[in-house]
Structure 1
Amino acid sequence: MELTKNIGEKDRKIRFAVGALIVLWGVFNGSWLALVGLVVMGTAFVRSCPAYSLMTMSTIEKQ
């Protein structure tokens, strides 16, 4: 199964940063939200967001 890439470069950078902040907050507070941060970072890593796919949305800039 191949994932359709639907996350652009700006979106990817924002997801990494926000995901990292959520992971750090969750780790320091002993919260399960750290797992949410990992999911956000994971979508940035693979450049595919299931929610975007359901909405047939993409943040990849057209050239």
Structure 2
Amino acid sequence: MTKNVGSIDRILRIVIGLALLAGFFLNSDGSYRWLYLIGIVPLATGLMSSCPLYSIFGIKTCKSR
């Protein structure tokens, strides 16, 4: 997978992913608690610096070398 996520985009994805996962663990009595697990997606794409949807649409937020 090629790198297509820039540094600011990457940081935002990691922060949002961690916040959503924290909501999953902190909101123990919520009926839709499982929706917080969607935070795995931005966290994973931020850590890998690669987004499959960006590849499909030809978007690249990182600096070209």
TM > 0.5 between the two?
Answer: yes
Question: 1 CA distance for matches of 2:9 and 2:35?
Answer: 21
Q: Which has the higher contact order (CA 8 A, sep 6+)?
A: 2
CA shift for structure 1 position 4? 1.3
Match of 2:43 in 1: 41
Gaps (5+ residues) in structure 2?
none
Q: 4+ residue runs of structure 1 moved beyond 3 angstroms?
A: none
Gaps (5+ residues) in structure 1?
none
Q: What is the 5 A alignment of 1:22-61?
A: 22-30=20-28, 31-61=33-63
Percent sequence identity is 34
Question: 1 CA distance for matches of 2:44 and 2:34?
Answer: 16
Which secondary structure state, in structure 1, belongs to the residue aligned with residue 62 of structure 2? coil
Question: 2 CA distance for matches of 1:15 and 1:52?
Answer: 13
Which secondary structure state, in structure 1, belongs to the residue aligned with residue 43 of structure 2? helix
CA shift for structure 1 position 36? 1.1
CA shift for structure 1 position 10? 0.5
CA shift for structure 1 position 34? 3.3
